[in-house]
Structure formats: C-alpha cells, structure tokens
Amino acid sequence: KNQVEQSPQSLIILEGKNCTLQCNYTVSPFSNLRWYKQDTGRGPVSLTIMTFSENTKSNGRYTATLDADTKQSSLHITASQLSDSASYICVVSAGSNAGKSTFGDGTTLTVKP
C-alpha cells in the first residue's frame, strides 16, 4: 500500500530559527515528490517538485532534499518568518495515474515572535 508519513506532526519555533520537516514514503513506482504550503483555510501552494534524478531543490528560504534510495525527503526552512506558519504537505506521485498521488497528513508549523 502506498503511504506517505510526515514528521513531526506539529512544530513550534521562534522567528529567525531554522527547521527541518521530514517525509518518508513507500510509493511505487516513484514519479515525483512535491512539497506544498497550506495556510489555514486556503488552498495548498506548491513549493518544490522533484523527480527521481533530483536530490535537492530550493525555492527562496525553502530547500527540499530527496533520497530516492531510502525513500526520504526533507524540507528545510531557513531564517523562519511569522508568515511561514502553515501546514506543509508532502505529496508523492506514482507512475502516470492521476489517482496515484498519495498525500501526507502534513506538518503544522507555528513560528512565534
């Protein structure tokens, strides 16, 4: 069964600090892995998308890594800001089937002043 597990479930950090969110998956055959940011009551917004051959991708203060051998990904946030408070969702797609995107439960990040 395809699964995506994210940790931690929630995280509180102080403004200006760095943090790392984790995503482990058992999706096969692997197509791509995406990280989304979802503000409360809003739709998710894409941060990064990585295919099998990519092991790191950055988007401003967000850097995602992918280890396809261990089936792990991380999202590192540098110099956090209050606006980073949101839910971060890891999504892994299998093959070319639209219905085969598996969503993680998300990590809720709270950045405090």
Partner 1 sequence: ETGVTQTPRHLVMGMTNKKSLKCEQHLGHNAMYWYKQSAKKPLELMFVYSLEERVENNSVPSRFSPECPNSSHLFLHLHTLQPEDSALYLCASSQVPAGGPHNEQFFGPGTRLTVL
In the complex, the residues that contact partner 1 under the rule CB under 8 A are 31-32, 34, 36, 41-46, 49, 89, 93, 95-99, 101, 103-106
State the nearest-atom distance from the C-beta of 43 to partner 1, in Å. Answer: 3
Record the tokens describing residue 23, joined without a space.
């995503």
How much of the chain is in helix, strand and coil states, percent to nearest 5? 5, 60, 35
Q: Which is nearer to partner 1, 38 or 74 (CB)?
A: 38
Q: Which is nearer to partner 1, 30 or 65 (CB)?
A: 30
Q: How far apart are CA 82 and CA 48, in angstroms?
A: 20
How does 84-94 read in b/e, with b if 16+ C-beta sit within 10 Å?
bbbbbbbbbbb
State the nearest-atom distance from the C-beta of 18 to partner 1, in Å. Answer: 26
State the nearest-atom distance from the C-beta of 101 to partner 1, in Å. Answer: 7
